[in-house]
Structure formats: C-alpha cells, structure tokens
Structure 1
Amino acid sequence: MSLADPDRKLVVEELGREPTAAEAALFENLWSEHCAYRSSRPLLSAFESEGEQVVVGPGDDAAVVALPGENADDDGDGTTYITMGIESHNHPSYVDPFDGAATGVGGIVRDTLSMGAYPIALADSLYFGEFDREHSKYLFEGVVEGISHYGNCIGVPTVAGSVDFHPDYEGNPLVNVACVGLTNEERLVTAEAQEPGNKLVLVGNATGRDGLGGASFASEDLAEDAETEDRPAVQVGDPYAEKLLIEANEVLVDEGLIESARDLGAAGLGGASSELVAKGGLGAHIELDRVHQREPNMSALEILLAESQERMCYEVEPENVDRVEEVAEKFDLGCSVIGEVTDGNYVCTFEGSEAQRASDDSSGDGAEPRERETVVDVDAYFLGEGAPMNELESEEPDQPPTDLPEVDLVEAFETIVSSPNTASKRWVYRQYDHEVGVRTSVGPGDDAAIIAVREAEQGLAISSGAAPNWTSIAPYAGARAIALENATNIAAKGAIPLAAVDCLNGGNPEKPDVYGGFEGIVDGLAEMCETLSTPVVGGNVSLYNDSVAGPIPPTPTLAMVGTKDGYDAPPLSVAPEGTLLLVGDLGLASEPQLGGSEYLARFDGSDRFPALPEEPAAVVETLASVANDDATLAVHDVSHGGLAVALAEMVTGDAGLEVSIPGAGDDPAGALFHEQPGRALVQTRSPDAVREAFDGVAPVHELGSATADGRLSIAVGDRTIATDAAAIADRRATIERELQ
C-alpha cells in the first residue's frame, strides 16, 4: 500500500504536515477507486434515485424502500420496508474463488444488518470465461461452492441470479451479490452518527491480519501472479459467526440499543468508523488497542485496516453499553468499547509504537508503562470525501459490421439450446437452500423469484443479471435492454417494478475505449430505469477489472424488485391446453438484427443490436396485468437464445407445444434467435382479451397451441424443428453433465 504522490501532496496541504504511516495507508485505501469512485462518481448523477417509495437512497450501506399501499407488520408498527444492496467481490474471487465469493455474501448481508433489517433473500450474478476452459470451470465451481456454503449456513435463501460465460472474463471473473432485507419504520437504523459522547462498540469476530489492503487490491488490474501474490488481501469468512451476528443484531435493534451502525467491509475498522462519523458531520476518538484481536502483536495500521469478516461497528448511548455487551456475550460474540463519537477530528490512538511493544514484550516484569501514540488525527469528512475525481478520456466503441453465418436451422437450434449461457442452471441453484425462511413462493429457475412478505401481504419479485453479449457490442443499447429485460422478468410473474440497485463493472478506466464503454452502460441503464419509473436507489462500482487477458466487457448487473398482491404467479411451463401468443416483434425486420445474440456468439457472426419497443413501460405494465388474469395459464420472458430457447424451456413431459412462426420463411434464423428484450410468450384461454390488452402497446402474434404429449414442434417457413421435453432436458443439462 502506498499513497500516490499527487494524493500525498493534497493530504500534506490539508494536514499541514506529513501523514503518519497509518494515515497514509488509510487515505490510500479510502481514496482508492473501490471506495471513492474517483472515475465513476461524475457519471452516477445520471441515475434517478428518488421516488415516493424511496426512504433511504444511495450513500448508506443499503437502500431502504417502502412497500406500496397501507401496510404494517404483525405488531401493527409502521410501514413495511425492504432494504436493497449489491456488491462485487471480483478480484478476491479470482485469487481464492471459495473465500472470495463467500465473503462477498457475508459483506452484503452485514450491509443489510446495519440498516436494522433482517436478510430474507440473496441473488447472485456470476460471470466467467468460456465454459470449455478448465480454469473457468475451477473458478465457477469454487465460487458457487463459496456462495452456497455461506448462504446456507447463515440461513438466507439464494433465490435469483444469473450465470454468463464470455471469453473476456477469462482473466477476471465477476461475482456480484445482492441482498434484500426486511424492516419497518420503527426499526430503521442508518450509518449516520447521531451525538457526541455516544460510544463506539465493535461487535463480532476478533480482528486478524486477513484482508489487509483489500480496497487497494480491488482498485488495480489483476496481475499475472495475482493468485499467489495477492492471497493475503482476500478475507476469510466464518458463516457461523455471521449467523450469530444476524441474531444478535435483531435483539439490539428490537431493544432500540443502536443509534447508528456500519459493517466493517472495505478498509476495515478505519473505513467503517470514519464513514460513520463523517456522515453525521462529527469525529471520533478510537483507542485501537481496545479492539479484540485474534493475532498477537498487531500494529496500529493492521488493526485499523484489516478486513477480517463478521464485524459490526455500533454507535451506542453510554447507558446502553452494558446491555449491548450482555447481548454479545449471549451470542458468543466478541465485544469491545473502542472509543466514542466527538465533535472534533477523527483520532485513533495506540498504546505505544511497534518498537516499544517489542521492547516491553522482551523486558518482562517491571517494564515502564507505554505511551499512548496518536496514529491518526484527520478531519473525517476530508478523509471520506476529499479524494479528487479523475478526468478521463473516452471513446465510443465502433459498431460491428453485419456478418451473418449460414447454419442449418436444426443444428443451430440444438447448439443454442445446449449452450452454457442458455442451458439449465440447475447445477448452480440446486446447491443453494432457496427454501429456508419459508418465504420463497417462486424459486430459482423461473423468470423471477417471488418472496412472500406476509407483513404487507405482498409478493416481492426479484430479478438480477446482465448480458455481456449485448453490452460488449453495444454498451448503451445493451444496458437499456438489460433494464427492460429485468423488468420483463418481473412483469412475467405479475409484479410491477418498484426499485433497483446496480453493480457497474468495467475494465481499466484509463483506457479511453474502456471508459467510453463504461459511460455507455451508465447512461443506458439510467435512461431505461427512468423510462420504467424505477428508481435506482443504490449500487456499487467495480473498475480495473482488467488482466493480462484484457478488459472485461462493460457489465451493468441490475438487481430489480417488484411487488404484487399475494404470492402466487403464473408458471413458466405450459399447461396441456390453451393458445400460445407472442407479445412483441417477430424479428422479421427488413434488415436482420441479431447483434448480441447467442446465435452469433456460437457461430462467429456479427450484426446490429435489435431495436427496443417504443413504449417499454406500457409493455411491462400490461404484461403484469395479463399475467395476473385468471385466463392466463403460463407466461415466459423471451430473452437469451431468443424464441427458440423460450419455447424449449416451456415444454415438460406433461405438456408440449405445436407452433408455427408466421412469415419467417425468408429469415428463419432471425425469427428464432434474435434477442430483442421486452417480449414474452403468453399461454391463455382468452387470446382475444390479450390482444385487446396490448392494443396500441405491442403487437400480438398467435403461434400455436399446447399439446398433451410433451413434444415441441416449431414450423419456420418450410422447415420444422421436432423434438420433445426429454431430449430438450438432456441437451440443456450441459453444465450439470460436465461438472458432475
């Protein structure tokens, strides 16, 4: 860790002296890209983050959103709130996939706790290099194992997410994890210190040396030797301690013992405690040697910056400290009163220097008392907000030329259905306990999950993901499509989008073309979310996802939630009756629009990205209404892999489909495989009612009807693709077959 010369100059000017070693390290971490958003913050104002449902927006550990309508919890207290947060743990998951992914889950759950909320659902969006590469499989298996181990142990269901494979993630995978929590207006806590004289109490695991410099590590390109050289920067998780912390936090919040809270994540105690008091316009005095430690002879800098997991920093009124200690003891958690909130600077002291400590340790009995050394004395606001923003050049990416392959239609269908990107992800989610907590009404494997929020008698739909094939060729248009795609997933379950959080992943922003792509995904995501009246209430930025293999595709993971009355939703699979309709374009434009499709990725072609619906908000709202109609039998979003994959996913051994795509003879590949978002398949007993609902909103095409034999027949011009549910299931088991 070293403070860059221009930053050191600013610090010296502010302090009027050279920084201490601890101060320099603290500034280096808190002014890193990971913490200060130096390259991205100027762009983030594009997002609309306000709305009548938004209680706490960006800037806290997690956002807080009120569920619509008049509702209160079982005790009759307050409006029901949900919390939303999302984080990345990309570099740690490359160096150590199990611990990197596991601690990513732990961190986002503690962000939820710090708002006074109980975690009720997780969503993970994962991105790796090509599936046929052994290193990609190694990372994939380790990451999934880490997420499942941690989530299952702490009893929080993982209910939604996505997995994508793309060659440009080979040297730098992405692990993005979102968490939804439940609270109400009576229990709400924020990360804003309230009052000088209140005590700062550290609760949770003892502090060790793991994760030192994690924030700095996350703000650099991955080096060729990162898997060995950067291992000390990766934290080690203890999910059983986290479970105890979750339950202890519930007691502390229920008893009103917490004035403010912050979890210890990036930059450890120094980051959490300084940010806590800075948000309140206050300072602190912390005695670092009071921190409970698990390793001997830790230095002030190590105590300050270690990113040991399962720790929370609480602001507590003096008269409540004893009770907080009792609660911590009951749950077998460490507890230290480390200092207090002040109206001055952020000050950290330490009982003696390392040299003095070594001398005292060797001198035996009769050693002179050690002096208390001031190792940090800075303005908290300057520490957190003083980093200058970067001024970077950007270039718009080139549009790809049209280069369409000629492929046999049956071969293309079989290839796309079995592609790792469109194949079943059952191997992943079967390792997650998605039933724990008995709130999961619709679990993973569907368009969106639904969690029962019984306190408000509402279903909470959750969708999370991105589409690297889309944003690699068209960052702006692809990001707009990702927002619409997630909203369509939610609408397919009969819910209306409520709010979203984003994890904006990019490569090295100092490269103009990379930064141009990053600008594109920010603007595209912001524009479509605003069009959908869905505020982006929080998020995370992860840059410098670059390695010797090159930069990652610009990847805007979006985790979106929506609400509906009740917890039921139409299934994805068809029933053995009813008419099948396509809502949206057939993809038969005068010029092909297959850009970003899995079809072109598999068969080495390129094309323009498809146009989006003209009235996306109306499409989403109408689809949600149709999904809730009694005549609706099944609804399925059409996205990755196009109409071909969506149809294949709807058939089962009990019900098949016989469909014909009208007018597709001249462009059968475009009709089957183009991936325009905002489209859906609707199986209904009342096709005329669906047409009437979408009149003036989107075209509706009748494709065919259901059968009772489990077969799928797709007539495209003079060609027919004929298969059955068993053959499709076998082809879609690509991941499971390879990794078992």
Structure 2
Amino acid sequence: MTLDTVKHAGETPDTEQPWSELGLKQDEYARIREILGRRPTGAELAMYSVMWSEHCSYKSSKVHLKQFGEKVPANDAMLVGIGENAGVVDVGQGYAVTFKVESHNHPSYIEPYQGAATGVGGIVRDILAMGARPVAVVDPLRFGAADHPDTKRVLPGVVAGIGGYGNCLGLPNIGGEVVFDSCYQGNPLVNAGCIGVMKHEDIHLAKASGPGNKVILYGARTGGDGIGGVSVLASETFDDTKPTKRPAVQVGDPFQEKLLIECTLEIFAEKLVAGIQDLGGAGLSCATSELASAGTGGMRVELDTVPLRDATLSPEEILMSESQERMCAIVEPQHVERFMAICEKWDVIATVIGEVTDGERLEIFWHGEQIVDVPPGTVAHEGPTYHRPYARPSWQDALQADDAGALPRPADGAELKDQVLRLVSSPNQASKAWITDQYDRFVQGNTVLAQPEDSGMIRIDEETNLGVAIATDGNGRYAKLDPYTGAQLALAEAYRNVAASGAKPLAISDCLNFGSPEDPAVMWQFAEATRGLADGCLALGTPVTGGNVSLYNQTGDTAIHPTPVVAVLGVIDDVNRRTPIAFAQEGQLLYLLGDTREEFGGSAWSEVIHGHLGGLPPTVDLDREKLLGEILISASRDGMIDAAHDLSDGGLIQAITESCLRGGKGARLIVPDGLDAFTFLFSESAGRAVVSIPRSEELRFTDMCGARGLPATRIGVVDGQELDVQGQFAVTLTELRTAHEGTIAGLLA
C-alpha cells in the first residue's frame, strides 16, 4: 500500500476518504480541505477527526461555555484559568492548588474496570502536567437502577477500577457521590476529579516555544488501545446493540503511572522542561497540535521514532492511539541528557521524537516522508463552532405542573417512622460504605476528612496545618425539573458542603453531563444549566477554573437527566479546626440554620415513597447561601460548633440520621412552631444546615446568627441511643443503622 504523503495527497484530490466513519460531518471534511488547500492525508484526517470530535473541540458547547469567562471575573486566588490542563488557585503560604473533574462515561459502560481506571489515570496526569504533585482523587458516579441486573455488572467493575488504580498510585480517595437512577441505565456517569499541590513558582503550562528545543515523548509504549476513543465512544449516542467497540477503551497500568509521576516531579524539580502536556484523549494528535498551537513556532515530529508495543500500527493509528501513562515534554538541548538520565533512573522510556521549529506548521514525517503539514491551531483550537438549535421541551410545563406537594403524606407518627426508615434505607440515601471502603481514603497520612463527610479535606502543610477541602454535587432530578435552578442547586450544595467543614470556598470545576446536542430539548437543558451555573458563580464569587463537557449520554432517543456536576474547592488555615458531621457529645444543642418551606419537587421522599418526579425544585437564594457559609466558617474557626451537616437530598431526617450514626449518639428532636412534622423532616429547602453546639457556646453562636440575620432555630439535643421525634415516633440507632447500612451490600455484594 502506498504511503499517503502530503505530496501524494496534493496529486490525488479525488481519492475517497473515510471521513464519515471517523465521525466527521461532510461540511467539516470540506472545511479541512479548504484549510489545507487540498485533500488531507490519512494521518491528517485522523488528527482532525479526533481533535474536532465533540469530546475534544466542544463544538456544540463552547458558545455557551464562554459565559464562564465573560460573566464571572477571576478572584484574587485565581492563578491559571480555563484553557490549560487544569485550573490553579492560590491557597496561601506560597502554595497553589490545581484541580479538575473530567468524564469517562462511555468507556466505563463498555469495559467498566478499565474505563474507570483510565479515567482516574487521565485526570491525575492533567494535574501532574500543571507542575503539581497529585494528592487526592474524588469520583462522582451515577448508575442505573440499583436492582437492575446490568448495574451489578457495571458498578462493581467501575468501583474496582477506581480503587485499583487510585490505591496503586497511593492517592487517597476523599470524596464524590454515588447516585442510582434508571435514566443512567445505559449511560453511567463516571466522573473523576483530582487535586494537586505545588508552589507558585512550579506552575507549568502546555506550550512549545524556542526553536531547536526537543520534543520528548516519555512513559509507556504506544499500542492499539484507545484508538478512536474520543471520536467513536465519547462523541456519539449509544444504540441498543451495546456493549460494543471494546478496542476503543484504553488499558491502564497504575504502576507505570506511579513511575511517571515521580519521574516527572524530579524533572520539574530540576527545571528541565520548557513546556509539557499529558497524552490523554486523542493521544499524540492532541499533544503535538496543542503544544505547537500554544507556542510561538512550529513543530517537526519523526513519527517512526515513537516507541511501540505493536509494530504493526499504522501512522494514523499511532496518532490516534490513547494508550495511557504517556507525557510529552519540550526540553532545551542542554537539558536533554539530564532529562534522559532521570527517566532511565525511574525506568521510564524516553525518546526524542522531534523539535520545535521557527515556522508556523506542524510537520510530521514517517521514515523520511512527510505525512502531516498543517497549521496546528486549526487542529487544536480552531475546530467547528456550532450554534445548535435549542428549545424548551413541550413536556416541561406538564412536568413542572405535576406538583410533588400534592402527594399523599403520612397520616400519623407510625407511618412517619415507616417512611423515615424507607427513605434512609433507599439506595440513594443508604450508606455507601460498601463502595467507599474499597478505596484507600487515608494513604499518605494527610487526609483529615473523607466520605461520608460533607467534603473531603487534605492537609497540605504538615507544619502549619494548612489544608484544602473539596466537595462534588449534582442532582439530575432537580435539573430535569428546571435546568437553570438545578445547576445552581448543585453549585450551592457543593459550596455549602465545603463551608460546613470549615473551609472557605474559592473556585469551581465542573463536569457537565447531558444527552445528544442534536436534540433541541437537550441543548435547551444545557444552555439553561450553563447560564444558571455562570450566574451562580458570579453571585457567590467562585470563578470557574476549568472543567469538562460530556454529551451524547443517551441510548437511542432516551437521554439521561441533565446532570451538571460541580466541584467546589476551599481552603482552611488550620485543619485541626475542621468541622465533622458526627454528633459525638451528649448534651450538645442542635440548631437548624435557614428557612424550611414546603419544597418537595424532585425530593428523595417523592422518589422513594411515591416513585414520583414532578413539580419545581427548591428555590435558590445565593445571598443566603453565602451568609450561611460565612456563619459556618466563622463558627468552625472560633470553636462555637462541634458538628455541622448540610441539608440536601432527604432533608433534615437524612442529615440527622447520618450525624447520629457517624458519632454513635442519638438525638431528641422537637418540631418547631409553625412547621408540621412531615415538612420538618422531609423538606429539601436549600440554604440550610444542622449544627451541634456546646451549651457554653449557645449564646455566642445565636448572637452571631441574629446579628447577621440568619434564622437559627433550636430543634433538640444530642442524647441517648435513639432518634426521638417527640410526639411522633422513636427509633433506636441499632434499627437505623441496620436500615441505613445494609442496602448496598445486599444489592451488590
């Protein structure tokens, strides 16, 4: 077969090419020909196809995502924002923290273990590429119905993949969430997040500058796994014949990644690189084009020098391969020898595959023949931009009119108790310990809070006890009812979770999971959610540092609930002042902060008791959320509270149950005047938290709340070994624990 060189492409304009099979549209293929002034070579076509995929180019979403930069100003903490591998924020004492959340949804359905494992590996390398040492991971997960047979295939594999890869890297898994809903049956959401720490001066960026600087590929050899992952798996809708397309799922090796991490950090410490990029989605196509595009010159690559583990790979396959555990560095000639020596020390393969040029083209050669000659920006950053049509779906009004507040309520205390036990034992509200116990949450010895706490927290300086906290949240049921409000509720809950632990929220990353952008109803959901998130970040002063969009999460015509997942990062000066969720001291007073209203749309109660989704989600008051956060942070810092737990899914009774069981102490609750017991226990009004207060601090705490205008209602006391809602029912902690902790293991063990 004749090699398809640039010269050959210019001489054979009518050669048929498989642009459609590679995921390109006809007009996109025509645009590539227009850019090049000829037909693309096979290698060029491969590069454009993966880089112009939905997953890499954000061609359907970027017109909406620009709000994050236009509406929301950077705060004083922002050091690196949208556009790099991950955002970076200043957390004080000379430290910077980088964090990001990304998706690995479709691969995790096809091959759960490797799909999830390589999702962890990819996000860790994004953090590493910024110059940081990865210190913790989080994993927001969504699965189909808990009792569905296929959930028993997907969930254990995903959990094993996350735990296996993260545990082998020695990274604590400190947060995330697990949600079950039949809408995710064929499209589980496996979102992976990572936090990294560095000094300000150690920040690295993805750019290739300096003519004559060498391009070094190092890490694992390149194989055939992952070919077409971003263009085939992540950028199209599944059909009903799945699972298929197994070759498109990457295969991970966490031990190779651990060597790569330590090798890279030593290279950083000796200041040997001028630019760096990890190889994830789109592999070498992405790394070379993005480095060249972000730099000040061009790049020449000798593709046949790439170390392979499959000698039969074609140039196109090498460019598209998403083999894991690889990085690409730009190194000045005088540093190459030392760079190679460090790689050899860590048993990491390193090869000079090219150099930076003073031109403006990305040129790739195969055994001396030129197979790529493109303007790198057209591959990496100037892909298609779609203004997809969007429209409020015709069924939205009827869904919102189906008010959950009209559903039958418990008639007496006995029925109320029965519904409480049904709620706390339901898959979404039950303990996730069967899952989280498979993760190492405390490796490295710096984890101070982890699941099931409101947020994960890591100590980053062992002398000063400076720490950071992270929480991820998202409620697809709320977003289905109202995408704008649902996105703001996700933001508000993650913000509240971080504040409840005593940390000050600084910035966010997001992972926006939606159905097909070719459906106007889905695009309306996406447009509304991004608008809501941008408006919410503006109100809370939390800029968006970066994130991820995952589209085509649907099977046939059935899309998942719109699921914007929001990760909020916060900082705490002294982790010893953190606030846990556990009620641990008898006699402490329980206060409910915020206003409780009859808000049951999208609630856990409506789902568990009635199998219902309808009405409007809880209202959002971002000024109140900000005030609540300030009170929780101040109270934590000044020693006024011993425990705090935000109120969200499941309402007050869910939070009280978790805090009682976590601390091994019961509680006596009194229904406040003006509320009925049902609303008191099950409402999901936002902007609320429950706190336990030493009696000696009651006056100081209530004076602070009164002065700031935050409603604070005394609702009970920590006491005994049962949960007693006075005048209604009592249930022992033993009975609560049995209900809460047995569900997931019973379904999945």
Q: TM-score, normalised by structure 2?
A: 0.91
Contact 1:508 1:546 in 2 (8 A): yes
Question: Partners in 1 of 2:101 and 2:47 — Cα distance?
Answer: 24
Q: CA deviation at 1:607?
A: 2.6
1:291 Cα shift?
0.3
Q: Structure 2: how far apart are the matches of 1:465 and 1:273?
A: 34
- Is the deviation greater in 676-685 or in 450-459? 450-459
2:587 counterpart of 1:577:
yes
Deviation at 1:660?
1.3
Deviations 1:408-456 (A, max 9, x none): 3222211111111111111111111111121101122101111001166
Contact 1:441 1:450 in 2 (8 A): yes
Superposed CA offset, 1:50-108 (max 9, x none): 2221111111111111113xx1xxxxxxx211111211000000100100000000000
* Matching of residue 680 in structure 1 with residue 689 in structure 2: yes
- Per the alignment, residue 91 of structure 2 pairs with 67
Name structure 2 gaps, 5 residues minimum: 1-21
In structure 2, what is the Cα distance between the partners aligned to 1:435 and 1:500? 24
Contact 1:664 1:671 in 2 (8 A): no
Comparing 243-252 with 328-337, which one deviates more in the overlay?
328-337
TM-superposition CA deviations, 1:387-423 (whole Å, max 9, x none): 2211212123524221432243222211111111111
Mapped to 2, the partners of 1:551 and 1:90 lie a distance apart of 14
Displaced runs of 4 or more, over 6 A: none
Matched, 1:43 2:45: no
Letter paired with 1:122: V
**Contact 1:507/1:552 (<8 A) preserved:** yes
Shift of 1:691: 2.5
Which among 616, 631, 635 is matched to residue 640 of structure 2?
A: 631
Q: Given the alignment, which residue of 415, 418, 425 partners 2:422?
A: 415
Correspondence 1:687-726 to 2 at 5 A: 687-695=698-706, 696-707=708-719, 709-715=720-726, 720-726=728-734
Cα drift, residue 476 of structure 1 = 0.9
Q: Partner residue of 1:435?
A: 442
Determine if contact 1:593/1:607 at 8 Å carries over to the other structure.
no
Number of corresponding residues: 701
2:539 to 525, 528, 531: 531
* Closer, same or farther: CA 630–324 of 1 in aligned 2, 3 Å: same
Distance 1:471 1:282 in 2: 45
CA distance in 1, matches of 2:491, 2:571: 17
What's the counterpart of residue 12 of structure 2? none
**In 1, distance between residues paired with 2:637 and 2:267?**
40
Q: State which of 475, 482, 487 in structure 2 corresponds to 1:467.
A: 475
The equivalent of 1:601 in structure 2 is 607
Q: Which residue identity is paired with 2:62?
A: R
Matched letter for residue 239 of structure 1: P
The answer for the alignment partner of 1:58 in structure 2 is 82
Residue 559 of structure 1 aligns to a residue in which SS?
strand
Which residue of the partner structure matches residue 347 of structure 1? 363
From 261, 286, 295, the counterpart of 2:301: 286
Aligned to 2:670: 660
Matched, 1:610 2:626: no
Once residues 641 and 110 of structure 2 are traced to their aligned partners in structure 1, the CA distance between those partners, rounded to angstroms, is 48
Q: What displacement does 1:694 show?
A: 2.1
Tell me the CA shift for residue 11 of structure 1. Answer: 1.1
Q: Once superposed, what is the RMSD of the aligned Cα atoms?
A: 1.5
What is the CA–CA distance in structure 2 between the aligned matches of 1:721 and 1:515, rounded to whole Å? 47
| Structure 1 residue 226 displacement after superposition | 3.3
Which residue number corresponds to residue 300 of structure 1?
Answer: 315
Q: Matched residues in 1 for 2:497 and 2:490: separation? A: 11
C-alpha displacement of 1:509: 1.1
Query: Are the counterparts in 2 of residues 168 and 549 from structure 1 also a CA contact under 8 Å?
Result: no
Residue identity opposite 2:447 in structure 1: T
Report what 1:205 is aligned to. 220
User: How far does residue 286 in structure 1 lie from its aligned partner after superposition?
Assistant: 0.4
Letter of the 1:405 counterpart: L
Q: Deviations over 1:263-314 (max 9, x none)?
A: 0011111111110110114321001000000012221111111000000000
Judge conservation of contact 2:635–2:701 (CA < 8 Å) in 1.
yes
| Counterparts of 1:296 and 1:28, CA distance in 2 | 23
The one-letter code sitting in structure 2 at the alignment partner of 1:706 is V
The code of the aligned residue for 2:716 comes to G
Code of the aligned partner of 1:394 = Y
Q: Is the 8 A contact 1:163 1:425 kept in 2?
A: yes
Q: Structure 1 CA distance, aligned partners of 2:491 and 2:555?
A: 28
Contact 2:23–2:53 (Cα < 8 Å) also in 1: no
Partner of 1:152: 167
Query: 1:564 matched to which residue of 2?
Result: 572
Q: Deviation string for 1:144-188 (max 9, x for gaps)? A: 100000000011111011111111101101011111001112222
CA distance in 2, matches of 1:548, 1:145: 28
Partner of 2:3: none
Name whichever of 146-155 and 670-679 sits farther off: 670-679
Structure 2 counterpart of 1:382 = 378
Instruction: Give distance in 2, aligned partners of 1:633 and 1:420.
Output: 29
Tell me if 1:542 matches 2:550: yes
Aligned equivalent of 2:452: 445
Instruction: Give the counterpart of 1:245 among 260, 266, 291.
Output: 260
The whole-number CA distance in structure 2 between the counterparts of 1:528 and 1:53 is 18
CA distance in 1, matches of 2:489, 2:440: 30
How many Å separate the matches in 2 of 1:549 and 1:145? 31
Q: Which runs of 5+ in 1 are unaligned?
A: 72-78, 352-371
Q: Helix, strand or coil for the counterpart of 1:704?
A: strand
Q: How far off is 1:495 after superposition?
A: 1.0
In the alignment, does 2:239 pair up with 1:223? yes
Partner-residue secondary structure (3-state), 2:48: helix
Counterparts of 1:697 and 1:12, CA distance in 2: 63
- What is aligned with 1:405? 407
Alignment-derived partner of residue 392 in structure 1: 388
Q: Can you list the C-alpha shifts for 1:196-237, whole angstroms capped at 9, x where unaligned?
A: 211000010000011001110211011223312x11110000
Task: Determine if contact 1:3/1:25 at 8 Å carries over to the other structure.
Answer: no
Closer, same or farther in 2 for the Cα pair 1:600/1:694, shift >3 Å? same
Q: Displacement, 1:654?
A: 4.3
Q: Secondary structure at the match of 2:391?
A: coil
Answer whether contact 2:63 2:387 (CA < 8 A) is retained.
no
CA displacement at 1:664 relative to structure 2: 6.0
Show the counterpart of 2:36: 15
Letter in 1 for 2:80: V
Show the counterpart of 1:495: 503
1:512, distance to aligned residue in structure 2 (A): 1.0
CA distance in 2, matches of 1:662, 1:550: 44
Shift of 1:612: 2.3
Select between 91-100 and 10-19 the one with higher mean Cα deviation: 10-19
1:2–1:24 CA contact under 8 A, matched in 2: no
Task: Among all aligned residue pairs of Structure 1 and Structure 2, give the percentage whose two residues are the same amino acid.
Answer: 40
SS in 1 for 2:448: strand
Could you list the per-position Cα deviations for residues 518-553 of structure 1 after superposition, in whole angstroms to 9, with x for gaps in the alignment? 112111122222211111111011111111371111
C-alpha separation in 2, matches of 1:549 and 1:98: 27
Query: TM-score, with normalisation over the residues of structure 1?
Result: 0.92
Instruction: For 1:701, give the aligned amino acid.
Output: T
What secondary structure does 1:377 align onto?
A: strand
> Would you say the 8 A contact 1:150–1:239 is kept in 2?
yes
Instruction: Please list the CA deviations of residues 462-489 of structure 1 after superposition, one character each: whole Å capped at 9, or x if unmatched.
Output: 1112111211212111111111111111
- AA matched with 1:615: R
1:528 alignment partner, SS class:
helix
1:483 aligned to 472, 475, 491, which one? 491
Aligned pair partner of 1:30 in 51, 74, 86: 51
Shift of 1:125: 0.2
Corresponding residue SS for 2:304: helix
Deviates more, 1:513-522 or 1:627-636: 627-636
Structure 2 partner of 1:358 = none
CA contact (8 A) 2:640 2:701 kept: no
